[in-house]
Amino acid sequence: MAAIGNHKFEFYTKLDAMIDEKQNETFVISDSIYNEIIQSIKSDRKEDAQLKRLANDQFRLKSKENIEYLETNDGEMIPRYSQLFDIINAVHQTAGHSDGEKAYKEVYQKCGFIRREVMQIFLENCPFCQRELTKKTIPNLPEMYSLTCMTLVQFSILDVAPKADNSEKYILHIRDLYSRFSWGRCLSSYSVKNIAAYLNCIFWNACKAPSILQSDDGEEFTYKVLNKMVCYSSGSYKDVKAGRSRDPGSPSFLEESNADLMNRLEGWMSRHKDESWSEGLEQIIYRMNMTINPIHGKTPFQVMFPNRGTIPLRDSPTKAITEPQDP
């Protein structure tokens, strides 16, 4: 029931945002206007004659089980704003959580007035559908690996040179696929040495190396980073595999997380009227790791470190990594 409550809240929150953004388009009729239309159709007062005529031109009043509702002249049921979620949810569950166009057609047969954009908001926040999507989009792993924390760790380098903060021009973003836990660090240069130095640091703090390390820059670049990490750690990462490059057409959780990170960073700079984004990076990473996942009710930190009570805001400095010396 809690999952349905969260889903309903997210649905109406995003629906309201879309209605505010596209004020010139009609997505739904509010409950108050809906009641006014019904009253005008039923009214016998002379002063309501014009309004009644307009309402009759657009709508037809129907009743089922003593509940009054409106239809279009084409016979399509028009739901109230407050009924939208319950109608869509009932049809969607009865149909077995079908997705995409099939889901829309099933709802359309029940209530043709519901627009695709509204249905899309519902599907994007359906807990069951999102769990199934996660299963479908997890990268293929060798059978010897079970998907747990630190099975697959992905990293990418975000170029923020146009908003360079002193010498810091890049963000190294690392994410554990299973827990969705993120690490972030400012970089002064796009170099294998810098990346290997920080990865070596976080894996040491996590007390575990990943089974597979994957980069958006391809398998060859990941091999270079791993080789440098092996040099720094006297061979500790020899068993870590370099993940193959992702199919450009397939979904990427890291890309979504990168977009989330950059959006939060832009928001931080806007709120603080400050272009020194490096000062806000650790706060943003902290909030990402402390955001509760509505599917299982835990934060990425709780999944990654189940035996730790709290997470410090500053686990390590965010200043740019200086070039380490080769051993």
Query: How confident is the model over 256-298, as pLDDT tens digits?
Result: 888 889 888 888 888 877 777 788 888 899 999 998 887 778 8
- Taking 60 as the threshold, does the pLDDT of residue 3 lie above it? no
| Residue at 153: amino acid letter | V
* Mean pLDDT value across residues 166-193: 87
For residue 172, name the pLDDT band (cuts at 50, 70, 90). very high
The confidence score (pLDDT) of residue 25 equals: 58
Higher pLDDT, 114 or 246: 114
pLDDT in tens, 46-71: 666 776 777 777 777 887 777 787 77
In terms of average pLDDT, the best of 34-38, 70-74, 183-187 is 183-187
Q: How far is Cα 155 from Cα 218, in angstroms, rounded to an integer?
A: 11
The confidence score (pLDDT) of residue 138 equals: 45
Higher pLDDT, 250 or 278: 278
For residue 145, name the pLDDT band (cuts at 50, 70, 90). very low
The confidence score (pLDDT) of residue 132 equals: 56
Residue 208 tokens, joined:
């575990």
- 135-144, 177-186, 297-306: the lowest-pLDDT one: 135-144
pTM of the model: 0.52
- 46-55, 155-164, 207-216, 234-243: the lowest-pLDDT one: 46-55
* Mean pLDDT value across residues 248-262: 75
The confidence score (pLDDT) of residue 73 equals: 74
CB atoms within 10 A of CB 282: 18
Q: Comparing C-alpha atoms, which of 177, 137, 144 is closest to residue 300?
A: 177
- Taking 60 as the threshold, does the pLDDT of residue 2 lie above it? no
The confidence score (pLDDT) of residue 141 equals: 46
The confidence score (pLDDT) of residue 173 equals: 93
* Mean pLDDT value across residues 202-214: 83
Residue 38 tokens, joined:
């019904």
**% of residues, the chain, pLDDT over 70:** 72
The confidence score (pLDDT) of residue 178 equals: 87
Buried b (16+ CB within 10 A) or exposed e, 29-67: beeeebeebbebbeeeeeeeeebbeebeeebeeeeeeee
**% of residues, the chain, pLDDT over 90:** 5
* Mean pLDDT value across residues 192-198: 89
